[in-house]
Structure 1
């Protein structure tokens, strides 16, 4: 927390009242402050002040009580705002936002001011959304950033020349090294899995190329329609279980046929849908029939949410 002092110092201001609790040299009560950056302890002590001096000790109705020579020696002091102390009001610490607004201290506003901001990622809602399954979202995040340890990536690590990466092949189809584009979903095995689930996500016309699937999802990323949420769930589950099956075959002797994996994906999404609520509509009725869901998840508009 102490390491944050340099970041938050200019945000913590004193709203001056009677000046009895404001340290004149160290507190931020004016744009010129802190005065300690201008005046050294020796200079302060030489004119009879101390480091504990309060604002009320150097300010009265006639102005500033420090030596006139300071005005010539330290011209920044001439930029201080002209104000009068109010004996009926206490000094108060406030937060000054990055926009220059004086506001009450709050964790949300403080975090927004001190954090490093970056442009919003347009596809973030594609993987991080309220109905998402966390472990599926994590794999999706890795896929989008191409951070999975696929065989084409591992081949680039061969700097010593001691390993023969030419023997690597996709554990799902054995047609060559796997890659992000190959696994999702151009591989013969993955392609059959995708063909078996995409109709349930109303994505029949979407090809097996990841770029086309990603493009379709980003087009509906901010939609709250039930079918668009389902499409994100289906794609995330498909990617997760394809990656899972790929690793199972690499590191164990266990294997599942593509139709078995299709059933696992659809069952997982169906269980998630059973925990959700849908508004009463023709589309909801079709979803219930398509996914064999109980009617208890349908709620009236007044009860939705």
Structure 2
């Protein structure tokens, strides 16, 4: 089986807790193995041997263990397994069949959808203020992913690899930045304190409308967050340009390290602007004077002006 399928299989214990049997006539819900109550499934409380010794079947349905509105199981079970005292006898409705429903982590019944599943099972962390810079429906996915790694400082730069150095063919103490050959490589150095990447940032930062921003990554992010306006054309362009700059600087770093192929900063600038321009062509902008000026600056057709997408 594939890696992806194995991962899906591993999600079953989490998903099972959120799939509930909604009792109707009680004829299709397994009383021991299905989750139909907050305390279930009951096989997590009762062992299979205990169930069989009481002359029940492992295939019993809800209707099979109810008699005149009471449970058929032994009274002694209530002393041995106190949790059973909190399991109510479900109301049986012979006109309705049992059905499977989705409930979130709070036990609230919801319509099944991929978004509700994700909300219920994913691990929630503290929301970061830079999420709007990285994740957007207008972002270029591969750029956004790399930018996310940069924000979390997860790229395998030399300073990250140094603790792994065990004296092999490459001595990381002697390796310097492949872009400038003047200093040790780190996230802060690459974006954009390195003389090479600083030149790239200087060439493009005017189109991000952050002309006064320094070449330090933390300052660039802070300036963007301070000037950002929700979904404005300027903000969208700034997001695209910053993410593209990060992507192509990292690409250039890898090209020089592994293939000894170098491009000047001006070439990287041109690639960044061309990539962003291609992305902008697929968008639509609201009709106002500010947007018209932006389209003119990017030499984009006026046909992109419509009443949707960006301000």
Match of 1:207 in 2: 214
Cα 1:38–1:121 change in 2 (3 A) is same
Match of 2:122 in 1: 115
The within-5 A match list for 1:1-305 is: 3-61=10-68, 63-72=70-79, 74-160=81-167, 165=172, 167-219=174-226, 223-252=230-259, 254-299=261-306, 301=307
- Is residue 23–residue 91 contact of structure 2 (8 Å, CA) maintained in 1? no
Partner SS, residue 59 of structure 2: coil
Cα 1:178–1:29 change in 2 (3 A) is closer
- CA offsets per residue over residues 234-287 of structure 1, 9 Å max, x none? 222222233333344444554333333323322332232222221111111211
CA distance in 1, matches of 2:197, 2:248: 10
- Greater radius of gyration (CA): 1
Q: Give the gaps of 5 or more residues in structure 1.
A: none
* Deviation larger for 206-215 or 243-252: 243-252
* Deviation larger for 107-116 or 92-101: 107-116
Partner SS, residue 101 of structure 2: strand
- Is residue 60–residue 85 contact of structure 1 (8 Å, CA) maintained in 2? no
CA distance in 1, matches of 2:160, 2:47: 58
* TM-score normalised by length of structure 1: 0.82
Partner SS, residue 112 of structure 1: helix
CA distance in 2, matches of 1:186, 1:62: 75
CA distance in 1, matches of 2:271, 2:44: 66
Partner SS, residue 94 of structure 1: strand
- Is residue 14–residue 27 contact of structure 1 (8 Å, CA) maintained in 2? yes
Cα 1:11–1:281 change in 2 (3 A) is same
C-alpha displacement at 1:44, in angstroms? 4.2
C-alpha displacement at 1:186, in angstroms? 2.0
Cα 1:222–1:99 change in 2 (3 A) is farther
C-alpha displacement at 1:202, in angstroms? 0.9
* TM-score normalised by length of structure 2: 0.81
Cα 1:232–1:100 change in 2 (3 A) is same
- Is residue 229–residue 235 contact of structure 2 (8 Å, CA) maintained in 1? no
Match of 2:3 in 1: none
Cα 1:232–1:60 change in 2 (3 A) is same
Partner SS, residue 38 of structure 2: coil
Aligned pair count reads 303
Cα 1:168–1:103 change in 2 (3 A) is closer
